[in-house]
Amino acid sequence: MTIPLSDGQEPLVVATFSRRMALQLANGEKVSARVKGRRLRPVCGDRVEAEPIANEPEWLITRVLPRTNELGRPNTRGKLEVLAANLSFIAVVTADPPTPDWFIVDRYLCAAELMGVSAAVIFNKTDLAEPGTGVRDTLQDYERIGYQTVLCSARSGTNLDALRVLLARQTAIIVGQSGVGKSSLINRLAENADLPTTAVSERSGEGRHTTVNSVMLALPNGGAVIDSPGVRDYAPGTDNVNDVIRGFREIAKFGADCKFSDCRHLREPDCAVKAAIEAGQISARRYESYKRLLASTKKLTEKKY
């Protein structure tokens, strides 16, 4: 199955393996490609200019077209790595096991806000156990601020239709801690998908070896999903205080009523955000994530001077 491209559209990057790529051409054909020069860094979702290489089966990518957005995160060396580009949706997956790390979820949701794309929180593996009240309350907090949530199971198939509806006609990336079932979900959603999945117990903590950086697969009812098996669980961050504030939509909303227009919602007087937390209108746990992300930007900023 191919990802729908309109006639005459530029080739689309549908898989990356280090410097090697798979391209889908406008006629639906898939070709492998190399990248011209060291400075070009195409990622899944990129539109590129490319040409066939004479006397070789491969194509050469010569230019990456301007991106509408990109999802980046720090890699193991602390450098920003772009995971995918030109997205319309981010699905953040959690499960138990592994023990949910909601800070990772909040960081991806923050990135989605800054990119201007929709996002949802998925809780997978409901076949193992019904989610406890802690998980349900947390998901409800996300619903309250306008993120859709889905409880599902890649194994039993429960509620996968809800996920299909969410992802239909989107260009989505599936993110989340390793072992939550991202590849398993995509294998159920995308036809002909055969992504490798790995039991949590078989994973080494220090990053397992994966050859594929990321791959984009077509969905049966239109749209596409990207799987990006990372070597470790690095979630996006930001070094800009205003971006952190914008990245937490409920904090940005209540923050409009603070006394000071540059209020960081920490110890400032007449802070509408603090009032909203006390009134139970903002989740205290989300506020902790906000403060944690803010603290990490402070460290970054201090390092610069």
Ligand X SMILES: Nc1nc2c(ncn2[C@@H]2O[C@H](COP(=O)(O)OP(=O)(O)O)[C@@H](O)[C@H]2O)c(=O)[nH]1
Residues that bind Zn ion (CB under 5 A): 258, 263, 265, 271, 273
CB of 241 to Zn ion, least distance (A): 12
Integer Cα distance of 8 and 87 in angstroms: 20
Question: Tokens 């199971």 label which residue?
Answer: 153
Quote the least distance from Cβ 197 to Mg ion, whole Å. 6
CA atoms of 248 and 250, how far apart (whole Å): 6
Least Å distance, CB 67 to ligand X, is: 25
Q: Where on the chain is the footprint of ligand X (CB under 6 A)?
A: 124-125, 127-128, 153-155, 178-184, 197-200
Compare residues 182 and 274 and give the one whose CB is closer to Mg ion.
Answer: 182
CB 183 to ligand X: min, Å: 3
Give the C-alpha separation, 237 to 294, whole Å: 9
- Which of Zn ion, ligand X, Mg ion, none does 265 bind, CB closer than 5 to 8 A by kind? Zn ion
Nearest-angstrom CA–CA distance, 12 and 60 = 13
Phi, psi torsion values for 244, nearest 5 degrees: -65, -45
The reply to whether 176 sits near Mg ion by the rule CB under 5 A is no
Closer by beta carbon to ligand X, 138 or else 184: 184
Decide whether 221 or 240 has the Cβ nearer to Zn ion: 240
Q: Which ranges constitute the DSSP H helices of the chain?
A: 102-115, 133-144, 160-167, 182-189, 241-247, 249-255, 272-278, 284-304
Backbone Cα Rg of the chain: 20
Q: Specify the residue, 42 or 230, whose C-beta has the smaller distance to ligand X.
A: 230
Q: Cβ(223)–Cβ(165) under 8 Å?
A: no
Would you say 86 or 177 has its CB closer to ligand X? Answer: 177
Count residues binding Mg ion (CB under 5 A). Answer: 3
| Chain center to CA of 295 | 22
Residue 128 binds which entry of Zn ion, Mg ion, ligand X, none, CB below 5-8 Å type-dependent: ligand X
Among 72, 229, 236, 255, binds Mg ion (CB under 5 A): 229
Q: Around 191, how many Cα atoms within 13 Å sit in the side-chain half-sphere? A: 8
Q: Where are the beta strands (DSSP E) in 25-143?
A: 30-35, 48-52, 59-64, 70-74, 80-85, 89-94, 118-123
Among Zn ion, ligand X, Mg ion, none, residue 154 binds (CB under 5-8 Å by kind): ligand X
Binding at 258: pick from Mg ion, ligand X, Zn ion, none (beta carbon under 5-8 Å per type): Zn ion
* 212 vs 252 by CB, closer to ligand X: 212
For the CB of residue 49, give the shortest distance to ligand X in the complex, in Å: 32
Q: How far is the CB of 83 from ligand X (least distance, A)?
A: 14
Contacts with Mg ion by CB under 5 A lie at 182-183, 229
